[in-house]
């Protein structure tokens, strides 16, 4: 068979998928780019061309800058926490002990919960009148009186990060646990015989095996964290006093609540651009680490 | 991203429309309601069942969303080519919905009987620039609820007539050690906070807008926010009010943890239900107080109406459904959580039975209802004001600065 026929056949086989992809991703994306240069409303007018107005207004808007910082802070802290807790959980669950299988299965539970359920659950835990967190902390004496965790700008974002970490660390743990299975026992044993401590064994023997898979987890989690919407929308709707208003919430308000589809589209594209840059950086790093191995 | 959502919604709608076309030969209506305050979900389902029983050729598919999602869901469905025939809408949306062609002008469908029978104030709920975009359905305002037992314990004979008196009474209750934080409000960063704020603006004789420009940053508008801040910082207000919605206020009040609470009609019969309330039988209700020399009582227009969307293909059937839901017979039968729009219902003993205090308060308060500003940009204005209220009570900025910023960001 000629190679050109193989080539043509490959394209023919992919054609249906390509058509679907262009229809559901390509076209909407191009249309969003077009929208972002107009002052279109969600309902009614299709809008006039306004050039880079939407972008300039957005960049000079203090609300956008603040939302950008809030989003970055949320992403950095929650992803870091998820990576650390996830790896620690994986190391524990990799030990031989009675009931390990049950624990491994239980660990998936938070991750399997729909985000909205998780958010509602944590809102109950944080409830200022009858929440479990308040009850627990006052009973062990760490807190004098019940607090409004989601009502204070100082604690609301931290409370959201904790809830998000609880939900998402199992993904990291799962990936790490799978990678740990590839660490040859004889190498860890040899390191032990050579007198390497627990930390040295982790740092120099185990971590190199984990690096690649963890990088994938890091990419996935960072992109997700940067786009965060649902957990915040359910728990605080961006309050108190906008202290938890992330970029996605800003996009939602702009496009749907205020019905300014044009500037909403420019905001959405900005978020897409940031996530794409992050993904590109990670892709480069992954390629480099893979090459090093 | 916008378009993909629109496309997906459109696809889902078409798909379900195609399915229903095969299954039934009858007309199928889709209606959107809210699951929060006023009529309960069970009430709305029971009313709808009664309608479909009387009209077997029409079936109604009803959907409930929290109040916070009602506006966006309606607009989103409309933006994607429709989906709902009948939608519930808040008094603050007709301006925007009319401007953006979301709702049908139904002025011509209104019968003389409706014109005569419905309370004149109720019509403002559905009007914009002289046209009517639906029928009023939920006639509601925020009342002052009080716990009779707590007032008695503190030696207070009568509920407050002014907001200053309310603060004094709360102080007595606090000082006598009956309750630490006697007042509960819904000041979460949401529309609920604006309803409380508007009640106070009406008490202090303030204006939201003058000649289309923001005017809330001075006079009564500023006095209202100052009152909220003082009430919060003096410790008379439950500090968790800053994350409360109406349902949280109800829970606190029902647990006997508030002496005073501002809330909608529905709380009266729920808080008086011994099955779920610890304060059943001790619930007092009066119109929200006034301010000496400025007002006798205060009230926010928190009414809602039912309208037909411009994308509906069954507008006659939709109207039939709305007529049934807003009819005096239906409203009188379900008057425990939301009061009727019909004038004569308020003198009907069957309606007032068991809730005489509520009806007495309603007669005064409904006549004093103060509107939130009528503008197509209401959502922006409200979002800016919500932020101002929160920043002021959290002490992040002074009330006048917060309101000035809100005026700048209101889009007006």
> What pLDDT digit, counting tens, does each position of B227-244 carry?
999 999 999 999 999 999
Residue closest to B88 by CA, chosen among B25, B140, B134: B134
Contact (CB<8Å) B239/A150: no
Average pLDDT over residues A80-90: 96
The predicted structure's pLDDT at residue A268: 93
Q: Of the spans A112-121, A196-205, B76-85, which averages the highest pLDDT? A: A112-121
Least confident of A40-44, A163-167, A287-291, B168-172: A287-291
The alpha carbon of residue A242 is apart from the nearest alpha carbon of chain B, in Å, by 7
Tell the CATH topology of A55-292: MetI-like fold (1.10.3720)
The alpha carbon of residue B357 is apart from the nearest alpha carbon of chain A, in Å, by 29
Alpha-helical segments (H) within B204-256? 219-233, 246-254
The predicted structure's pLDDT at residue A44: 66
Where along chain B do its domains lie?
28-140+301-368, 143-300+376-409
The alpha carbon of residue B194 is apart from the nearest alpha carbon of chain A, in Å, by 14
The predicted structure's pLDDT at residue A1: 56
The alpha carbon of residue B259 is apart from the nearest alpha carbon of chain A, in Å, by 16
The predicted structure's pLDDT at residue A192: 85
What is the rounded distance in angstroms from the CA atom of residue B211 to the CA atom of residue B185? Answer: 31
The vertex-A209 CA angle with A203 and A213, nearest 5°, equals: 115
Q: Which of B4, B383, B396 sits opposite A28 (nearest CB)?
A: B4
Average pLDDT over residues A91-105: 91
B367 and A CB contact within 8 Å: no
**What ipTM does the predicted assembly reach?**
0.84
Residue closest to B136 by CA, chosen among B153, B161, B119, B158: B119
The predicted structure's pLDDT at residue A47: 79
pTM of the model: 0.87
The predicted structure's pLDDT at residue B22: 45
Residues of chain A found within 8 Å of residue B71, distances taken between Cβ atoms: 257
Residues of chain B found within 8 Å of residue A259, distances taken between Cβ atoms: 75, 96, 100, 379
Q: Which of B101, B240, B396 sits opposite A128 (nearest CB)?
A: B240
Average pLDDT over residues A29-52: 86
The predicted structure's pLDDT at residue B195: 96
B102 and A CB contact within 8 Å: yes
Contact (CB<8Å) B394/A241: yes
Residue closest to B170 by CA, chosen among B246, B108, B230, B82: B230
Contact (CB<8Å) A153/B396: yes
Q: Which of A31, A44, A129 sits opposite B240 (nearest CB)?
A: A129
The phi and psi torsions of A274 (rounded to 5 degrees) equal -60, -45
Residues of chain B found within 8 Å of residue A256, distances taken between Cβ atoms: 72, 75-76
Contact (CB<8Å) B243/A129: no
- pLDDT tier at A290 (50, 70, 90 boundaries)? low
**Three-state DSSP class for residue A258:** coil
- Burial classification of residue B277, based on how many CB atoms lie within 10 Å of its CB (0-12 exposed, 13-18 middle, 19 or more buried): buried
B387 and A CB contact within 8 Å: yes
Tell the CATH topology of B28-140+301-368: D-Maltodextrin-Binding Protein; domain 2 (3.40.190)
Contact (CB<8Å) B75/A151: no
What is the rounded distance in angstroms from the CA atom of residue B220 to the CA atom of residue B208? Answer: 9
- pLDDT tier at A279 (50, 70, 90 boundaries)? confident
The alpha carbon of residue B249 is apart from the nearest alpha carbon of chain A, in Å, by 11
Helix axes A261-292, B2-23, angle to 10 degrees: 110
**Three-state DSSP class for residue B396:** coil
The predicted structure's pLDDT at residue B18: 47
Query: Is A217 a residue whose pLDDT tops 60?
Result: yes
Task: Give the percent of chain A with pLDDT over 70.
Answer: 97
Contact (CB<8Å) A28/B248: no
DSSP A25: I
The predicted structure's pLDDT at residue A257: 86
Contact (CB<8Å) B394/A150: no
Task: Kindly report, residue by residue over A41-58, the tens digit of the pLDDT.
Answer: 877 677 788 888 899 988
Task: Give the percent of chain A with pLDDT over 90.
Answer: 59
Mutate one of A30, A38, A41, A42 to test the B interface: name it (highest B CB count within 10 A): A42
The alpha carbon of residue A93 is apart from the nearest alpha carbon of chain B, in Å, by 39
Interface of A with B (CB under 8 A): 24-25, 27-29, 31-32, 35, 41-44, 128-129, 148, 150-153, 236-242, 252-253, 255-259, 261, 264-265, 268, 272
Where along chain A do its domains lie?
55-292
The CATH-assigned architecture of domain B143-300+376-409 is 3-Layer(aba) Sandwich (3.40)
Taking CA–CA distances from B244, the nearest residue in chain A reads: A151
Per-residue pLDDT of chain B (412 residues; tens, 9 = 90+): 444 555 554 455 544 444 444 444 589 999 999 987 789 999 999 999 999 999 999 999 999 999 888 998 998 888 777 789 999 999 999 999 998 889 999 999 999 999 999 998 889 899 999 999 999 999 999 999 999 999 999 999 999 999 999 999 999 999 999 999 999 999 999 999 999 999 999 999 999 999 989 999 999 999 999 999 999 999 999 999 999 999 999 999 999 999 999 999 999 999 999 999 999 999 999 999 999 999 999 999 999 999 999 999 999 999 999 999 999 999 999 998 899 999 999 999 999 888 999 999 999 999 899 999 988 889 999 999 999 999 999 999 999 999 999 999 888 8
Residues of chain B found within 8 Å of residue A54, distances taken between Cβ atoms: none
Taking CA–CA distances from A43, the nearest residue in chain B reads: B79
The phi and psi torsions of A101 (rounded to 5 degrees) equal -60, -45
What is the rounded distance in angstroms from the CA atom of residue B220 to the CA atom of residue B408? Answer: 18
**A168 neighbors A175 (Cβ within 8 angstroms):** no
Q: Which residues pair with B214 in a beta bridge?
A: B209
| DSSP letters for B9-22 | HHHHHHHHHHHHHH
Residues of chain A found within 8 Å of residue B390, distances taken between Cβ atoms: 239-242
What are the strands, taking DSSP E only, across B150-294?
183-184, 209-210, 213-214, 260-263, 283-291
The predicted structure's pLDDT at residue A219: 87
Pairing between strand B143-147 and B213-214? unpaired
Contact (CB<8Å) B101/A44: yes
Mean pLDDT over the full length of chain A: 90
**B307 neighbors B89 (Cβ within 8 angstroms):** yes
């Amino acid at each position: 068979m000629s190679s050109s026929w193989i080539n043509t056949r490959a394209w023919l086989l992919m054609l249906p998928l390509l058509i679907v992809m262009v229809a559901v991703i390509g076209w909407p994306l191009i249309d969003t780019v077009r929208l972002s240069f107009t002052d279109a409303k969600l309902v009614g007018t299709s809008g006039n061309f306004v050039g880079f107005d939407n972008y300039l207004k957005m960049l000079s808007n203090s609300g956008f800058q603040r939302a950008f910082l809030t989003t970055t802070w949320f992403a950095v802290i929650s992803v870091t926490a998820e990576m650390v807790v996830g790896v620690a959980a994986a190391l524990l669950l990799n030990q031989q002990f009675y009931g390990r299988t049950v624990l491994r299965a239980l660990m998936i539970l938070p991750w399997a919960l729909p985000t909205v359920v998780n958010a509602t659950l944590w809102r109950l835990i944080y409830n200022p009148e009858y929440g479990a967190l308040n009850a627990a902390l006052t009973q062990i004496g760490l807190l004098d009186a019940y607090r409004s965790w989601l009502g204070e700008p100082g604690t609301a974002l931290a409370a959201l990060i904790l809830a998000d970490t609880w939900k998402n660390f199992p993904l990291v743990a799962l990936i790490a646990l799978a990678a740990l299975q590839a660490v040859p026992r004889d190498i860890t044993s040899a390191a032990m015989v050579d007198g390497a401590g627990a930390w040295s064994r982790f740092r120099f023997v185990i971590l190199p095996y984990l690096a690649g898979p963890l990088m994938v987890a890091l990419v996935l989690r960072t992109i997700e964290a940067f786009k965060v919407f649902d957990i915040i929308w359910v728990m605080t709707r961006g309050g108190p006093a906008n202290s938890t208003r992330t970029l996605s919430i800003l996009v939602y308000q702009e496009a749907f609540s205020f019905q300014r589809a044009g500037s909403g589209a420019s905001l959405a594209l900005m978020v897409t651009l940031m996530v794409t840059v992050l993904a590109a950086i990670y892709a480069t790093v992954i390629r480099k680490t893979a090459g090093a191995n | 991203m916008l378009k993909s959502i629109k496309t997906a919604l459109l696809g889902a709608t078409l798909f379900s429309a195609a399915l229903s076309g095969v299954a039934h030969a009858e007309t199928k209506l889709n209606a959107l309601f809210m699951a929060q305050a006023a009529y309960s979900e069970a009430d709305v389902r029971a009313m709808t069942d009664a309608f479909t029983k009387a009209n077997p050729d029409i079936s109604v598919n009803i959907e409930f969303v929290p109040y916070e999602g009602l506006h966006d869901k309606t607009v989103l469905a409309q933006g994607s080519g429709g989906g709902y025939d009948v939608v519930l809408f808040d008094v603050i949306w007709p301006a925007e919905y009319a401007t953006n062609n979301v709702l049908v002008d139904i002025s011509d469908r209104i019968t003389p009987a409706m014109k005569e029978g419905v309370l004149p104030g109720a019509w403002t709920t559905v009007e914009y620039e002289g046209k009517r975009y639906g029928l009023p359905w939920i006639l509601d305002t925020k009342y002052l609820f009080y716990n009779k037992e707590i007032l008695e314990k503190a030696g207070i004979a009568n509920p407050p007539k002014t907001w200053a008196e309310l603060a004094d009474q709360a102080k007595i209750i606090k000082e006598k050690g009956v309750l630490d934080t006697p007042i509960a409000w819904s000041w979460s960063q949401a529309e609920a906070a604006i309803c409380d704020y508007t009640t106070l603006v009406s008490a202090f004789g303030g204006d939201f807008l003058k000649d289309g420009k923001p005017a809330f940053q001075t006079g009564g508008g500023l006095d209202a926010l100052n009152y909220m801040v003082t009430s919060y910082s003096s410790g008379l207000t439950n500090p968790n009010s800053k994350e409360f919605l109406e349902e949280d206020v109800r829970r606190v009040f029902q647990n006997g943890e508030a002496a005073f609470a501002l809330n909608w009609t529905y709380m009266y019969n729920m808080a008086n239900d011994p099955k779920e309330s610890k304060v059943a039988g001790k619930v007092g209700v009066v119109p929200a107080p006034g301010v000496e020399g400025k007002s006798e009582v205060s009230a926010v227009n928190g009414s809602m109406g039912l309208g037909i969307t411009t994308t509906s293909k069954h507008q006659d059937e939709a109207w039939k459904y709305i007529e049934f839901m807003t009819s005096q017979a239906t409203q009188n039968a379900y008057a425990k959580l939301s009061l009727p729009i019909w004038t004569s219902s308020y003198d009907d003993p069957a309606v007032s039975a068991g809730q005489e205090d509520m009806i007495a308060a309603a007669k005064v308060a409904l006549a004093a209802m103060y509107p939130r500003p009528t503008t197509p940009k209401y959502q922006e204005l409200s979002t800016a004001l919500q932020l101002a209220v929160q920043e002021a009570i959290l002490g992040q900025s002074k009330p006048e600065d917060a309101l000035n910023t809100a005026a700048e960001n209101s889009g007006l």
